[in-house]
Structure 1
């Protein structure tokens, strides 16, 4: 009897999951670093703001308020500034996945919050940065989707994400000798502001 009940529950969960829907999102984002690093006394290093194209795909689990979203952004290309002057360039991919809770209500606004993980996948580096390691961290998300009265499947959305990212940077030999260290953590810790278009299938 217990096995039968467990099987029925499992089948019910599977049916609910399969009854879910997909949503594609196409957005434009501003990635705003909030951290900085001290390379040596009097030498402050930080990454600059960057704009990017940020498509994502989201899956809704049946009639529940739960969904999962995967951010598939194009590469971000940061200038690295030393006391305000550009000394390096770092390109990276920021794949991010979040589990979201959608606050369904009687209005056309659907607020949501999400938590998950993110990655800094180093793509290329120039200048004093000889090598940049991949990094992984926590991600948080808050925002809302708005569906106009005449819209059946589409809407617009606005959200804000935070990522805890501090990739390790290896300096070129000349810079390493000048500052007395060969590596440091570039504290980016970005806040990402996004506005875009959503479409449910």
Structure 2
């Protein structure tokens, strides 16, 4: 019994004597959680074969997905973060001409690379941070809504309309905070918000009618909440 007690005490002493993992050069931080994209949309008026339709605009709904980030600390206070996610899905509407209707939907992926600054002491259990960098948003799987097809039919279209959105390259900024917990404070509760510059040209090709186009600034705030782990 004495031997068991001694071994247990030695093991506890060894565990408790391990220093808490810190935000320091060489550390790797992985975070994952729910990400919600809230677009702040501004849009040009729609143009049909080059003729502008006054009073019209495009709007984009919110979307949510699983957000993933990985950080490499190249300094005790500085890191490089790669932001990724599972695909976001957004519904797109057209407003104006006395009505609002569903145009379609698109999926997008927003990979971003950011330089981060961690101002607190490297062993702080509450660690805010700021980041700035670049984003490249890829749009894909664009689909036209049946309501839009019905409206195009009134203009003489016979179906087969196609929606496309150009990919976007722009700036990205973030503010976040980690709350460390667990053994050696390896686990993190993370909250963050990103501001991403996303500008795209949207085009609907409608047979027998022509191309309907608009320039759309999406510029969303992206809110994330989840867990992280420091290696």
Q: TM-score range by the shorter chain?
A: 0.7 to 0.9
Alignment partner of 1:48 is 2:61? yes
Task: Indicate the residue corresponding to 1:75 in structure 2.
Answer: 87
User: Match for residue 3 of structure 1?
Assistant: none
Per-residue CA deviation, residues 49-77 of structure 1 (Å, 9 max, x unaligned), is: 11110011111114x20001101111111
Which of the two has higher C-alpha Rg?
A: 2
1:141 corresponds to: 174
State the partner residue of 2:137: 120
What are the Cα deviations for residues 132-183 of structure 1, in whole angstroms up to 9, with x where unaligned? Answer: 1111000000111111365531111101000111111121225964xxx643
Structure 1 stretch displaced more, 73-82 or 33-42: 33-42
Match for 1:153 among 180, 186, 190? 186
Separation of aligned partners in 2, 1:77 and 1:156: 26
Cα root mean square deviation, aligned = 2.1
DSSP-derived class of the 1:55 partner: strand
4+ residue segments displaced more than 3 Å: 174-177
1:27 matched to 2:55? The reply is no
Does structure 2 retain, via aligned residues, the 8 Å contact 1:120–1:167?
A: no
Alignment counterpart, residue 198 of structure 2, candidates 153, 161, 165:
165
> Cα 1:86–1:165, aligned 2, differ >3 Å: closer, same or farther?
same
Indicate the residue corresponding to 1:101 in structure 2: 117
Residue among 128, 133, 155 paired with 1:111: 128
Q: CA deviation at 1:44?
A: 2.1
Residue-pair matches, total:
180
* Residues 155-164 or 102-111, more deviating: 102-111
* TM-score between the two structures when normalised by the length of structure 1: 0.82
Whether contact under 8 Å (2:125, 2:185) holds in the other structure is no
Q: TM-score, normalised by structure 2?
A: 0.72
- Kept after mapping to 1: 8 A contact 2:58/2:214: no
User: For structure 2, which runs of at least 5 residues remain unmatched after alignment?
Assistant: 1-23, 47-52, 145-160
Deviation at 1:129, TM superposition (A): 5.2
Specify the alignment match of 1:199 in structure 2. Answer: 229
